């Protein structure tokens, strides 16, 4: 599938030689070698925490390397700030968009590059001229907060183009996109590649890497393990290079679905302050031993659904029942005590206190229950003992339970959260993007734990943007669009593409997706 383009044979666009970067206590990169030829799409693959981001920060001048050299177009360079990298023709599209919401598209684009075309009408014309290349179709005077995710990404690419970059680093660009948007992005990348741009594409989604890249370099534990040709190597081989061992898959083998309803949501309505319905009469049943997956483009009400079921938002109408208990009038803590475990979609905002030690984080949400509380008092010893257990059972890699949560990598933080939410035998687990931003190893462990709990009779409500995860883990998939459950899909037959088109409201394209009320 890879587009074979005329790869020129003169000096490579970027050569990194022997790059080493140490932080107190860790070596983020050691002896990394990377050669990117001009005009190619070069993928950099590796688990989270393998050192991809550090390497890119070094190439983009955000951090200086301790050892090693960087060559751009055959000349050795030293970047002190991103401005130096930009001058050398290197631009970066960050995974977490580097945009100011309250500034306009134009202001975001010209920021830092005002010397090129000023900040007025001339810059505006230049932006409109370049916008076509990125597929961006909005007025430059619009505030960025009004744009969707795909358009924000186009603004990021536009920023890089505006600065005249020839080498563009895309840091996990597809993490936030639905399949159709990914295809659009890839079309943009190919079009720009034909015009002579060079791309460094960072990802751990191997199918995408094989679809877009001309060559792949794999990085593991801070060092490069090799470069492969994506046309000849399989996703599985690549993944094994990344992990260094056999691979997990999200697939659940046998069905454990029972007919005992655990979570029953009926007629749930949530209205925005302006009267718009964020959730529109949602009916949903999750049985014991069943995983119900919710598919949807972000911002279509999944977050609101979870937060309403958890009692974080107050429903305008409808009931939420757990087993035989009506939870509709209860607060969040009471709902948790009734037996709901909750893996929040953003562990930094809702799941953890980053500055607090692990054992303290164990108490959150369990401040009224054993083993972390005795009567009205918190039980520190109990919390510490149970944290030790979680660290052990869930393989949380940490120097100890007294370190602050911020000291752990994303995957290990998430393992701690999963361990906590599965403690105390919940009846229902709500998992919002349980493996977002975690590495393959942690992902496998989390999948296994969800599967095991399901086998024990746990009901799971799964929300995920990773369609493979959703299809692999779920017993039933429901598609959410504009606050409504619009379609059901059968995970044993549905493909990510089918789901994707149902998610964007393009209608069902396959027999595996049934629109609501159709059958």
- Catalog residues that contact another protein under the rule CB under 8 A: 60, 62-63, 81-83, 86, 92, 94, 97-103, 107-108, 110-115, 118-119, 132-133, 135, 137-139, 141-143, 146-148, 159, 184, 187-188, 190-191, 195, 504
Tell the smallest beta-carbon distance from residue 103 to another protein (Å): 6
Distance CA 112, CA 281 (A): 47
For another protein, the closer CB: 155 or 461: 155
d(CA 104, CA 207): 35
Phi, psi of 175 (to 5 degrees): -60, -30
CB of 433 to another protein, least distance (A): 22
Residue appearing with tokens 């959410």: 480
Local structure of residue 350 (DSSP, 8 states): I
Nearer to another protein, 171 or 439 (CB): 171
**Smallest separation, CB 148 to another protein (Å):** 7
Nearer to another protein (CB atom), residue 82 or residue 457: 82
Least CB distance to another protein at residue 294 (A): 22
The nearest distance, CB 93 to another protein, in angstroms, is: 10
Residue 310: partners with Cβ closer than 8 Å, 6 or more residues away: 332, 335, 336, 340, 342, 430
Least CB distance to another protein at residue 156 (A): 10
Q: Find how far residue 515's CA is from the centre of its chain.
A: 27
Compute the distance between CA of residue 437 and CA of residue 443 in angstroms, rounded to an integer: 9
Q: Kindly state the smallest distance separating residue 360's Cβ from another protein, in Å.
A: 21
- The distance of closest approach from Cβ of residue 361 to another protein in the complex, given in angstroms and rounded to an integer, is 22
Q: Which is nearer to another protein, 167 or 292 (CB)?
A: 167
Taking CA atoms, 355 is separated from 202, 271, 358, in Å, by 29, 35, 9
Q: Please, which residue, 108 or 409, has the CB nearer to another protein?
A: 108
Query: Measured from the CB atom, is 9 or 137 closer to another protein?
Result: 137
Residue with Cβ nearer another protein (44 or 92): 92
Element (H, E) at 513: strand 513-515
Segment (H or E) for 343: strand 340-343
Q: Give the position of tokens 């037959």.
A: 493
Looking at beta carbons only, is 426 or 500 nearer to another protein? 500
8 A C-beta contact, residue 399 and residue 369:
no
Judged by beta carbon, residue 146 or residue 492, the one nearer another protein is 146
Distance CA 470, CA 476 (A): 9
Residue count of the chain, please give it.
519
Chain CA centroid to CA 484, Å: 23
**Least distance to another protein from the beta carbon of 439, Å?**
22
| Cα–Cα nearest to 513, from 499, 503, 492 | 499
Q: Which is nearer to another protein, 11 or 187 (CB)?
A: 187
Q: Among residues 135 and 457, whose Cβ is nearest to another protein?
A: 135
Q: SS3 for 195-256, per residue? A: CCCEEEEEECCHHHHHHHCCEEEEEECCEEEEEECCCCCCHHHHHHHHHCCCCCCCCCCCCC
DSSP state of 439: -
> What is the spatial distance between Cα 83 and Cα 358, in angstroms, rounded to a whole number?
38
Q: Using CB atoms within 10 Å of the CB of residue 324, give its burial: 0 to 12 exposed, 13 to 18 middle, 19+ buried.
A: exposed
Is the distance from CB of 477 to CB of 463 less than 8 angstroms?
A: no
Smallest distance from the beta carbon of 101 to another protein, in angstroms?
6
Q: How far apart are CA 87 and CA 77, in angstroms?
A: 11
Q: Kindly state the smallest distance separating residue 151's Cβ from another protein, in Å.
A: 8
Closest CA to 371 of 352, 390, 355, 356: 390
State the minimum distance, in angstroms, from the CB of residue 235 to another protein.
25
Place of tokens 């942690």: 442
Closer to another protein by Cβ: residue 91 or 339: 91
Contact at 8 Å (CB) between 252 and 451?
Answer: yes
């Amino acid at each position: 599938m890879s587009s074979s383009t005329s790869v020129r044979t003169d000096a490579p666009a970027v050569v990194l030689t022997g790059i080493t970067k140490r932080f107190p206590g860790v070596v983020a990169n050691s002896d990394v070698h990377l050669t990117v030829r001009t005009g190619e799409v070069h993928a950099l693959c590796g688990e989270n925490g393998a050192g991809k981001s550090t390497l890119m920060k070094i190439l983009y001048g955000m951090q200086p390397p301790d050892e090693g050299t960087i060559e751009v177009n055959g000349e050795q360079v030293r970047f002190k700030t991103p401005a130096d990298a930009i001058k050398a023709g290197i631009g970066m599209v960050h995974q977490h968009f580097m945009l100011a919401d309250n500034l306009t598209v134009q202001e975001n684009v010209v920021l830092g590059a005002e010397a090129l075309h000023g900040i007025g009408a001339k810059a505006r014309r230049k932006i409109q001229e370049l916008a076509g290349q990125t597929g961006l179709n909005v007025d430059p005077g619009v505030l960025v907060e009004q744009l969707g995710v795909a358009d924000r990404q186009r603004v990021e690419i536009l920023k890089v183009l505006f600065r005249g970059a020839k080498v563009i680093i895309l840091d996990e660009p597809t993490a936030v996109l639905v399949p159709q948007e990914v295809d659009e992005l890839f079309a943009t990348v190919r079009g720009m590649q034909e015009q002579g741009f060079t791309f460094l594409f960072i990802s751990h989604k191997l199918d995408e890497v094989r679809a877009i890249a001309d060559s792949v370099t794999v990085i593991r534990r801070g060092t490069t393990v090799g470069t492969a040709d994506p046309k000849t190597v399989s996703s599985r081989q690549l993944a094994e290079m990344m992990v260094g061992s056999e691979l997990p898959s999200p697939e659940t083998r046998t069905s454990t679905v029972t007919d005992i309803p655990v979570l029953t949501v009926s007629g749930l309505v949530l209205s925005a302050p302006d009267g718009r319905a964020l959730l529109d009469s949602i009916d949903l049943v999750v049985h014991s031993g069943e995983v119900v997956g919710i598919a949807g483009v972000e911002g279509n009400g999944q977050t609101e659904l979870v937060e309403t079921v958890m009692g974080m938002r107050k429903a305008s109408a409808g009931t939420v029942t757990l087993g035989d208990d009506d939870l509709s009038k209860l607060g969040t803590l009471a709902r948790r005590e009734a037996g709901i475990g909750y893996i929040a979609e953003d562990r930094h905002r809702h799941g953890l206190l980053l500055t607090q030690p692990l054992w303290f984080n164990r108490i959150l949400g369990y401040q009224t229950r054993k083993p972390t509380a005795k009567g009205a008092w918190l039980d520190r010893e109990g919390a510490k003992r149970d944290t030790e257990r979680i660290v052990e059972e869930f393989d949380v890699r940490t120097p100890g339970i007294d370190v602050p949560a911020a000291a752990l990598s994303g995957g290990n933080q998430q393992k701690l959260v999963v361990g906590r939410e599965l403690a105390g035998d919940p009846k229902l687990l709500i998992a919002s993007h349980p493996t977002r931003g975690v590495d393959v190893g942690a992902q496998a462990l989390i999948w296994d734990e969800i599967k095991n709990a399901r086998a024990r009779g746990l009901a799971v409500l799964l929300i995920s943007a990773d369609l493979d995860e959703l299809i692999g883990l779920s017993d039933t998939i429901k598609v959410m669009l504009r606050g409504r459950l619009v379609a059901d899909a059968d995970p044993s037959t549905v493909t990510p593409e089918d789901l994707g088109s149902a998610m964007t409201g393009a209608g069902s394209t396959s027999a595996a997706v049934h629109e609501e009320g159709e059958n």
